Amino acid sequence: MALEEIVSGVYGIGMGYVNAFFIVGEDGLTLVDSGLAKKKDTILGAVAGAGRQPPDLRHILITHHHIDHIGSLAALKEATGAKCYVHPADSPIVRGDEPQPGPNPGSLLGKLAGPLLSRMSPPAPPADVDVEVADGEELPLAGGIKAVHTPGHTLGHLSFLLPSKNVLFVGDAAANMLRLGLPIGMFTADREQAKESIGKLAALEFDVACFGHGRVLKGEANLRFRRLAEKLAR
């Protein structure tokens, strides 16, 4: 586990191939995504590394329902009493009312490897959803966070803009592994929607972009998104 202060009061938690983030605010801590299952202690260890205690974790923003982003949600809610926030299109899966969709069979790799991956990936423990979040909703957390519906990777994918810090939490609307681009096709429900969501993010103002997968972009990150949106529109 690697804990990094990205800008003042915003921390990244590196957990192998997936990242989570938290924001320190006057109302306590706000976590963005919960990582894979059995990462509760890792995340709470990062909270302690920032000089805070588990009860300080008050809010958990979920970008989307994939198991590497909600795996420890139920355990963290139980340990801290935090509320979680999810888009209505993804909340039935987070709650366990609907099964976790497998890889996209429309992609060649998803068609070939999808059944095997589905058997190898147990579903995340179900978790209660406290607040369903709509597109454009202003959440009174951490000084104000704007929810941006960015479907494509999942139908209810959300990104979160923290204007006070000029930081965008991208989730998996894009990835920045070797370079900035769309998420892996086999795990994306609708590629055309994903392209449109890049354009939506490109219209926002932010300097720093934090990804579920890949490196943080610092300095004119919005310009990089605008260039990507232009490329995808060709």
Average pLDDT over residues 15-36: 96
Q: For the ranges 22-36, 100-114, 117-131, which has the lowest average pLDDT? A: 100-114
| Total domains, the chain | 1
Rg of the chain over all Cα atoms, to the nearest angstrom: 16
- Looking at the chain, the whole-number percentage of residues with pLDDT higher than 90 is 84
pLDDT at 1: 60
Average pLDDT over residues 134-156: 97
pLDDT at 117: 46
Q: What is the mean pLDDT of the chain?
A: 92
Q: Which residues pair with 13 in a beta bridge?
A: 3, 20
What pLDDT band is residue 121 in, cutting at 50, 70 and 90? low
* pLDDT at 7 > cutoff 90: yes
In CATH, what number is assigned to the domain containing residue 225? 3.60.15.10
Burial of 59 (0-12, 13-18, 19+ CB in 10 A): buried
pLDDT in tens, 170-184: 999 999 998 999 988
pLDDT at 44: 97
**Nearest 5 degrees, angle CA 228-CA 230-CA 232?**
70
pLDDT in tens, 155-213: 999 999 999 999 999 999 999 998 999 988 778 999 999 999 999 999 999 999 999 99
Q: Which domain holds residue 219?
A: 2-233
**Nearest-10 Cα torsion for 164, 167, 173, 178:** 180
Q: Are strands 83-86 and 131-132 parallel, antiparallel or unpaired?
A: parallel
**Which is it for the CA torsion 40, 41, 42, 47, positive or negative?**
positive
Amino acid identity of residue 54, one-letter, is P
* pLDDT at 64 > cutoff 90: yes
Average pLDDT over residues 17-40: 96
